[in-house]
């Protein structure tokens, strides 16, 4: 008798509460590869919490136990908290707004403007960053902190970063579950988007407030471009020749986009959809191009909420939004 994939997964998870079957994640990944992942609608990581203790047996028992972590970017902060390790974090980037608990922690500045004095006072044993922190070497002599410089430019790098952090914090099971959850969420969005017409999309990551000038976009090799593709769009600057670059209004017009995704480039100054539309009117005087503004705090952070971003973009590209 055939068993629904969701039911099969639930049964396997229940079984694993008593038996150590390490192959679960591999099996589910295979199901996703066969197109079954989309049937796991409403996937909830609590379904596989019983696996966590079993996978933890695979961890490196000789690895250091970090208990005082500083996370220098919002994405890294969210990953640590999504792995249920937020209790170890003692300081975060000044740009962190989520989770709420993390936003209440001491703020150590950003990668380009770190508060070295506060970092020293917090006495971290692990610093997670996405770039070289200026001046850090000058204070490391008084600390025993290990510094891990991680790159998260693409989805593959995000999955790898989750795995690396899971290894550093001795929670490989949680890392596998989080990666699986993200893959399933994105697979579900891709299936939904695949039923609709593909939209040509201009991704605007930044611009001058009040006008469509000094437009900053992204090309191939960025997680945002990948998410737009998953959501049913095609980046009109896919062949940009660089991961990020400023483009002219003429270059945008020449690529005839159907939709402009404005990632809040001028929102801080404009604060209303009417003002945003007025800013774009100089470039698109007619209503032939739909302007979509996405201002949620997670849009530019490659972290655990990318599934939510993909769904938000997919909804904005749907025919029903016209």
Domain membership of residue 201 (yes or no) is yes
- CA distance from start to end of the chain: 44
Domain membership of residue 76 (yes or no) is yes
User: Do 248 and 298 reside in the same domain of the chain?
Assistant: yes
CA dist., res. 245 & res. 76, Å (int): 24
Question: In the structure, what pLDDT confidence band is assigned to residue 55 with cuts at 50, 70 and 90?
Answer: very low
| Residue 273 three-state SS | helix
Question: In the structure, what pLDDT confidence band is assigned to residue 266 with cuts at 50, 70 and 90?
Answer: low
201, 234 in Cβ contact below 8 A? yes
pLDDT of residue 125: 94
User: Do 228 and 141 reside in the same domain of the chain?
Assistant: no
CA dist., res. 282 & res. 253, Å (int): 11
Q: How many folded domains does the chain comprise?
A: 3
User: Do 13 and 130 reside in the same domain of the chain?
Assistant: no
Residue 172 has pLDDT above 50, yes or no: yes
What are the backbone angles phi and psi of residue 303, rounded to the nearest 5°?
-140, -160
Domain membership of residue 157 (yes or no) is no
CA dist., res. 170 & res. 136, Å (int): 25
User: Do 205 and 315 reside in the same domain of the chain?
Assistant: yes
Q: What is the mean pLDDT of residues 164-174?
A: 96
Residue 282 has pLDDT above 80, yes or no: yes
- Cα angle 134-140-144, degrees, rounded to a multiple of 5: 140
Q: What is the mean pLDDT of residues 34-62?
A: 46
User: Do 252 and 303 reside in the same domain of the chain?
Assistant: yes
249, 213 in Cβ contact below 8 A? yes
The proportion of the chain whose per-residue pLDDT surpasses 90, expressed as a percent, equals 55
pLDDT of residue 258: 94
97, 82 in Cβ contact below 8 A? no
Domain harbouring 312, CATH code: 3.40.50.1980
User: Do 143 and 203 reside in the same domain of the chain?
Assistant: no
Domain membership of residue 188 (yes or no) is no
- pTM of the predicted structure, to 2 decimals: 0.80
pLDDT of residue 270: 66
Domain membership of residue 62 (yes or no) is no
């Amino acid at each position: 008798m055939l068993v629904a994939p969701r039911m099969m997964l639930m049964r396997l998870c229940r079984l694993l509460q008593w038996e150590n079957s390490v192959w679960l994640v591999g099996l589910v990944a295979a199901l996703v590869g066969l197109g079954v992942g989309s049937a796991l609608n409403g996937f909830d990581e609590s379904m596989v919490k019983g696996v966590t203790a079993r996978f933890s047996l695979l961890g490196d028992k000789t690895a250091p136990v970090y208990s005082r972590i500083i996370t220098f970017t919002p994405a890294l902060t969210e990953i640590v908290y999504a792995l249920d390790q937020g209790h170890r974090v003692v300081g975060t980037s000044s740009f962190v707004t989520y989770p709420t608990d993390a936003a209440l922690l001491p703020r150590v500045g950003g990668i380009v403007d770190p508060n070295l004095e506060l970092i020293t006072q917090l006495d971290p044993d692990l610093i997670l960053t996405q770039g070289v922190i200026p001046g850090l070497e000058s204070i490391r002599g008084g600390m025993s902190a290990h510094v891990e410089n991680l790159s998260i430019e693409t989805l593959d790098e995000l999955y790898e970063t989750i795995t690396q952090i899971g290894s550093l914090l001795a929670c490989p099971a949680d890392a596998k579950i989080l990666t699986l959850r993200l893959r399933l969420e994105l697979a579900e969005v891709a299936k939904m988007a695949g039923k609709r017409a593909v939209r040509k999309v201009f991704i605007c990551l930044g611009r001058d407030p009040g006008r469509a000038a000094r437009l900053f976009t992204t090309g191939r090799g960025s997680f945002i471009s990948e998410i737009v593709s998953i959501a049913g769009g095609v980046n009109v600057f896919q062949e940009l020749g660089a991961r990020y670059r400023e483009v002219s209004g003429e270059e945008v017009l020449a690529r005839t986009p159907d939709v402009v995704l404005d990632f809040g480039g001028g929102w801080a100054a404009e604060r209303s959809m009417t003002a945003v539309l007025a800013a774009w009117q100089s470039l698109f005087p007619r209503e032939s191009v739909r302007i979509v503004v996405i201002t949620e705090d997670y849009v530019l952070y490659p972290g655990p909420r990318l599934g939510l971003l993909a769904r938000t973009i997919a909804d904005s590209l749907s025919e029903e939004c016209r």
